[in-house]
Copies of this chain bind each other. A is one copy, B any other.
Amino acid sequence: MSATIQQLLDNPEDLISQLKFNDAGLVGVIAQQHDTQEVLMMAWMNKEAIMETLSTGQVCYWSRFRQALWRKGESSGQVQALVELRWDCDGDTILALVDQTGVACHTGRRNCFFNAVRDGEVSIIAAVETDPQTLYGPKNFD
């Protein structure tokens, strides 16, 4: 970890004061593959998840369903290495540039946005690349 990122972690208000957390203490996060620019997924972080992501270099979300930190890929191995953390003009959405190992979606697809209106009809536009059973066994997400 660089000396400057350690300084930011020691005194995170430079970052945190620019973010607008919602009533649940969360900010939306878009994960984008840093080189192909594919949008992989959308999730949420609280302050603790942001700090962990910056300190470890591995993306950590907040699971609204489990009400717990969600270290992406902890059980499946489909981790996201952080490349850069950005946020928008009004501070309520983060854009995380990441390097995704394997597939981002719990369905085994590379990204979560596989439903579309295409040719005027609702369609599934991406195939499953990895059987979710091989990723999770009896579990069904992370």
Task: Give the residues in chain B near A138, CB-CB below 8 Å.
Answer: none
**B116–A84 CB distance below 8 A:** yes
Q: How many copies of this chain? A: 2
**If A30-B39, A36-B37, A89-B105 touch, does A117 touch B5 (CB 8 Å cutoff)?**
yes
Top 3 closest pairs, chain A to chain B, by CB = A4-B120, A37-B37, A5-B120
A3 at the interface (CB under 8 A from B): yes
| Interface size, A (range) | 35 or more
Task: Give the residues in chain B near A32, CB-CB below 8 Å.
Answer: 39
**B112–A88 CB distance below 8 A:** yes
A127 to chain B, nearest CB (A): 14
**If A4-B119, A120-B3 touch, does A113 touch B125 (CB 8 Å cutoff)?**
no
Q: How many angstroms from the CA of A83 to the CA of B86 in the assembled complex? A: 25
A69 at the interface (CB under 8 A from B): no
A115 at the interface (CB under 8 A from B): yes
A89-B106, A89-B115 are known; give 15 further A-B pairs, CB within 8 A.
A2-B120, A5-B117, A5-B120, A6-B120, A8-B120, A14-B121, A18-B122, A37-B39, A41-B88, A42-B88, A42-B92, A85-B116, A86-B116, A86-B125, A87-B116
A38 at the interface (CB under 8 A from B): yes
Task: Give the residues in chain B near A122, CB-CB below 8 Å.
Answer: 8, 14-15, 18
